[in-house]
Amino acid sequence: MSDIERGERRVAAVALISAFLLRVVYAFRYRVDTDEPQHLHVAWGWAHGFVQYRDVFDNHMPLFHLLTAPLVRLVGERADIVPVMRLAMLPLYGLMLWCTYRLGRRLFSARAGLWAAVLVAWLAPFFRCSLEFRADDLWAPLWLLGVVIAVEGELSPARALAAGLVVGAAVGVSMKTSLLIATLVTAAAVAAAFRPERPGMRWLAALGMRALLFTLGVAVVPAALAAGFAALGAWDSFVYGTIRHNLVPAIGTWRRGPVHLLLFPAILGLGVSAASILARRTPNAALARRRVVVLLGAVAYSGALAGLWPLITREDYLPFYPILAVAAAALAIGPLPGRRFAWVPAALLVLEVVNQITGSPPWTNRAAEQKSFLADVLRLTRPEDSVFDMKGETIFRPRAFFWGLEYITKVRLERGLIADSIPEMLVAHETHVATLDCGQLPPRGRRFLAEHYVPVGSLRVAGQRVRCVPDRPTRFIIGVPGVYRVVEDRSAPTPADAGAGAPSAGALDTSRVEVDDEEVGSGRFLSAGSHELRASACSAPLVVVWAPAVERGFLPVATSGEEVAWHRP
């Protein structure tokens, strides 16, 4: 780092240390993305003997979940598991910054590498997305590390094999690595065309050997994972979860028609034009090829995402941002004399810090709701209780409905490719706890949940609101068999001395319940179907509710905008 002034080093050190410290704060305060509990639920499944894809739904590659499962088991069932596991992502964030520095140093200078690491560390979309607990936090650094290994020196057979092994591990985390490989190969072909090696049989043979070793390296981890799932008897589930489930015609950007596909060649064409200028201005042919491969590969990847990939998410760009930072740092310090403080990247850093802080103020706690929700799940349920949620947000409990209700699954449900069997699964698993109503639920399942569950704070439990008419029997419907109690409806206005929420004087008319129903403690077992309730007196509407919820301090309440449906004979 001899070309870096002492002042620059100090600024960079302060910026990097501050970024790490701020990430610790954000780990406990930044809003929780729905993908984070989903990944935690899959890792929890591995930690408790469930097999991914076969026993627990997922549509990602499994390496990230396998590696984090021991840590999830060690951390245990706690409401703050999301921020704790976010802290575990800090080393991967550090690895990405290190890879960014190494790429900048190899392609341009140590100064460019240092500023590239600083700039990407504070780049808001990179900072926030890499903060979350998600598989992409491992995928991006593995890919970057593979690129670093490949370009650090002459591509020897050993180096080609090592790069392939690391890239293969990235494949084990995400299938999006296939797109990265394809665009990098495209960039390599362009680089070879711009600054070709002397043709010859020896050169072609050497290139073929390195390509073969790289390919063999890439295949190692995916092959090991495939063999493992085959040994577990989950081969078909593995193939479906990682490939077939995600291949749905006319989904996402694929619905936009053939014109949308022109984005890729347009972006690629611009990238090739810039790469030709870069190649001409780089005297060293080997260095020119490395620069073109890395920078054009990133541009081609962004173009392929925009024009070819069906579903584009924030995390897809994680491996792109470090290369962008390398290019930005090189441009920012390029025109400046070597022994002058880099004011341009320093100014960019200030803008990034301001954007990060104002865009997501660290003094605002937006993670508290998720922590409170998980605390309710742990209080209300026991490890053996199944739950209904969207895609694993309850984390620590088996899910009654196998399919995670992410975007692709919802499209498959809408097209009839997956059956909406939510009611049957809730009954079969005797699931008494569910998350609150959501407009993204499939219609049939949503109706069943609305009719046979009542809100208790941030969750719903099996139960039924009943119109109370003193000394007259009232019929109600139980959807999920279980032990139930009768309580007053806390959401209804009551006299000041009514004692809302206390167990009411209501009693189940044993002459009108099925013969297999029996008294259990202070509640009564009710099978699915029609029952009657008779109350000698009542000061408020009544709720027949899953008895363990009452015993654990959860009583029915109304939620804003809730519609109460009364069931009459």
CB 151 within 8 A of CB 333: no
Distances (CA, A) of 133 to 60, 65, 79, 129, 407: 14, 11, 15, 9, 19
CA-to-CA distance for 133 and 130, rounded, in angstroms?
A: 8
Q: How many CB atoms lie within 10 A of CB 254?
A: 15
The DSSP annotation for 174-237 comes to -TTHHHHHHHHHHHHHHHHHHSPPPP-HHHHHHHHHHHHHHHHHHHHHHHHHHHHHHHTT-HHH
Encode 229-245: b = buried (16+ Cβ within 10 Å), e = exposed. beeeebbebbeebbeeb
293 to 148, 157, 502: CA distances (angstroms): 12, 19, 71
Comparing CA positions, the residue from 456, 459, 462 lying closest to residue 479 is 462
pLDDT of residue 489: 74
Helix (H), strand (E), coil (C) string for 232-262: CCCHHHHHHHHCHHHCCCCCHHHHHCHHHHH
What average pLDDT does range 84-113 have in this prediction?
97
Is the CB of residue 448 less than 8 Å from the CB of residue 441? Answer: no
Alpha carbons within 13 A on the beta-carbon side of 467: 10
Angstrom CA distances, 325 to 12, 58, 269, stand at 14, 33, 21
- Buried-state track 470-496, b at ≥16 Cβ within 10 A, e below 16: eeeebebebbbbbbbbbbbbbbbebee
Question: Are the CB atoms for 464 and 480 separated by under 8 Å?
Answer: no
Least confident segment among 89-93, 121-125, 249-253: 249-253
CA 561 to chain CA centroid, Å, is 29
Among residues of the chain, what percentage have pLDDT more than 90?
A: 72
* Nearest C-alpha neighbor of 484 from the set 548, 561, 554, 416: 548
Dihedral angle, C-alpha 33, 36, 37, 39, nearest 10 °: 150
Residues 528, 531: Cα–Cα separation, whole Å: 9
CB neighbour list of residue 253: distance below 8 Å, 6 or more residues apart: 260, 307, 309, 310, 311, 312
Closest CA to 396 of 367, 413, 375: 375
Among candidate residues 460, 463, 468, the one with its CA nearest the CA of residue 441 = 460
> Residue 101: which residues within 8 A CB-CB, separation 6 or more?
113, 114, 116, 117
The gap from C-alpha 437 to its chain's centroid, in whole angstroms, comes to: 21
Burial of 121-138, coded b for 16+ CB within 10 Å and e otherwise, reads bbbbebbbbbbbbbbbbb
Q: Does residue 549 register a pLDDT over 90? A: yes
- pLDDT(494) > 90: no
C-alpha triplet 500, 505, 509: angle, nearest 5°: 135
124-180 pLDDT, tens digit per residue, is 999 999 999 999 999 999 999 999 999 998 889 999 999 999 999 999 999 999 999
* Six-digit token string for 233: 């008897």
Token pair recorded at residue 203: 């050169």
* Res. 200: pLDDT tops 80: no
Please report, for residues 127, 293, 435, 506, the alpha-carbon distance to residue 503 in angstroms, rounded to integers and kept in the order given. Answer: 51, 72, 24, 8
SS3 81: helix
313-369 residue pLDDT tens: 999 999 999 999 999 999 988 755 555 677 889 899 999 999 999 999 999 999 999
More reliable by pLDDT, 418 or 199: 418
| Residue in 33, 32, 37 with CA at minimum distance from that of residue 399 | 37
Check whether 247 has a pLDDT greater than 80: yes
| Angle at the Cα of 23 from the Cα atoms of 17 and 29, rounded to 5 degrees | 150
Convert the pLDDT of each residue in 360-417 to its tens digit.
Answer: 999 999 999 999 999 999 999 999 999 999 999 999 999 999 999 999 999 999 999 9
More confident residue, 495 or 473: 473
- pLDDT value of residue 567: 29
Per-residue pLDDT at 501 exceeds 50 = no
pLDDT tens digits for 505-537? 344 443 333 323 444 446 789 999 999 888 777
Residue 78 has pLDDT above 60, yes or no: yes
DSSP for 266-320, written as a single string: HHHHHHHHHHHHHHHT-SSHHHHHHHHHHHHHHHHHHHHHHHT-SS--GGGGTTH
Q: What's residue 333's pLDDT?
A: 85
pLDDT in tens, 6-21: 888 999 999 999 999 9
pLDDT at res. 257: 74
Q: Tell whether the model's pLDDT for residue 495 goes beyond 50.
A: no
Model confidence pLDDT, tens digit, residues 429-474: 999 999 999 888 999 999 999 999 999 989 999 999 988 777 778 8
pLDDT of residue 565: 31
Give the whole-angstrom CA distance, residue 425 versus residue 405: 15
Task: Tell me what the mean pLDDT of segment 260-268 comes to.
Answer: 88
Find the mean pLDDT for residues 261-278. Answer: 91
Cα separation, 132 vs 179, whole angstroms: 23
Mean pLDDT (whole number) for 480-488? 91
pTM of the predicted protein model:
0.90
- The more confident residue out of 512 and 210 is 210
**pLDDT for the residue numbered 288:** 92
100-114, 252-266, 293-307, 451-465: segment of lowest average pLDDT: 252-266
CA distance 318 to 126: 6
What are the strands of the beta sheet with 507-508, ordered from one edge? 474-478, 529-534, 507-508
What tokens were used for 326? 């390398």
DSSP conformation class of 334:
T
Task: Determine the pLDDT at residue 463.
Answer: 95
CA distances from residue 226 to 63, 67, 142, 539 in whole angstroms, order as listed: 11, 16, 20, 63
| pLDDT tens-digit readout, 12-58 | 999 999 999 999 999 999 999 999 999 999 999 999 999 999 999 99
CB 251 within 8 A of CB 410: no
> Residue 95's Cα: distance from chain center in Å?
20
